[in-house]
Amino acid sequence: MQKVKITVLEGKVNELLGQFDLLKKDNIKLKNQQLLWKQEREKLVKQNDLARQKIGIMIEKLRSMESSK
C-alpha cells in the first residue's frame, strides 16, 4: 500500500516537473518575443520621429516660399 502511494506521488511529481519545463520554455519564448516587439517599436518610433522632422522641414520651406511671393 505504501509503495503504491509513493509510486503515485512520484508520477505526480514527474508530471509537475514536465509541466514546469514546458512553462519555462514558454516563458523564455515569450520573453524573446517581447524583446523583438520592443526592438521593432523602437525602430518605428525613430522612423516616425524622422518623418515628423522631414514634414516639419517641408512645411517651413512651403511657408518661406509663400511669404517670399
> Over the stretch 2-22, which tens digit does the pLDDT of each residue have?
888 999 999 999 999 999 999
Please count the CA atoms within 13 angstroms of the CA of 49 that sit on its side-chain side.
6
Record the cell numbers describing residue 55, joined without a space. Answer: 514634414
- What is the Cα–Cα distance from 44 to 31, expressed in whole angstroms? 20
The structural domains of the chain, with segments of one domain joined by +, span: 1-69
Under the banding of pLDDT at 50, 70 and 90, the label for residue 32 is: very high
Q: Look at residue 69 and tell me whether its pLDDT is greater than 90.
A: no
Q: Give the H or E element holding residue 43.
A: helix 2-67
The pLDDT assigned to 1 comes to: 78
Is the overall model pTM greater than 0.75, yes or no?
Answer: no
**Summary mean pLDDT of the chain:** 95
- What is the Cα–Cα distance from 16 to 66, expressed in whole angstroms? 73
